[in-house]
């Protein structure tokens, strides 16, 4: 599979997981803002280039990219204000939020050789 295809699958799985835990704020891939698609693609590339990286490294890579693009911690995700409640060290995230990084990593490693 191509990088963007894997990113799309990972995004849709994340959306489904978020809905399962009561977060209905995620748009589907087709309606997702470009910055969100680019972030997913970067996450796929990160795991393909760093196959031994764990979920914490996945989160740290995501957070570094967000901070470099002007995002900061905020109680709610707001793309206009560039705030996100997950801009925290991995160990401070709830287990529900950490699970998203485990899922993302697994999707990449499950699909990268297809």
Which are the contacts of 75, defined by CB distance < 8 A and separation ≥ 6?
Answer: 83, 85
pTM of the model: 0.93
Per-residue model confidence as pLDDT tens digits over 77-90:
999 999 999 999 99
Which are the contacts of 34, defined by CB distance < 8 A and separation ≥ 6?
Answer: none
pLDDT of residue 16: 98
pLDDT of residue 58: 94
Average pLDDT, the chain: 96
**How far is residue 96's CA from residue 18's CA, in Å, rounded to a whole number?**
9
Quick one: what percent of the chain has pLDDT higher than 90?
Answer: 99
Give mean pLDDT, residues 54-72. Answer: 96
pLDDT of residue 87: 98
């Amino acid at each position: 599979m191509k990088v963007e295809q894997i990113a799309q699958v990972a995004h849709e799985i994340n959306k489904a997981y978020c809905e399962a835990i009561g977060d209905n704020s995620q748009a589907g891939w087709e309606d997702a803002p470009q910055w969100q698609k680019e972030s997913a693609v970067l996450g796929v590339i990160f795991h393909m280039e760093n196959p031994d990286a764990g979920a914490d490294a996945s989160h740290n890579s995501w957070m570094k990219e967000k901070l470099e693009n002007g995002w900061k911690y905020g109680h709610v995700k707001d793309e206009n204000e560039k705030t996100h409640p997950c801009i925290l060290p991995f160990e401070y995230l709830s287990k529900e939020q950490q699970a998203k990084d485990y899922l993302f990593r697994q999707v990449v490693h499950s699909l990268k050789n297809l």
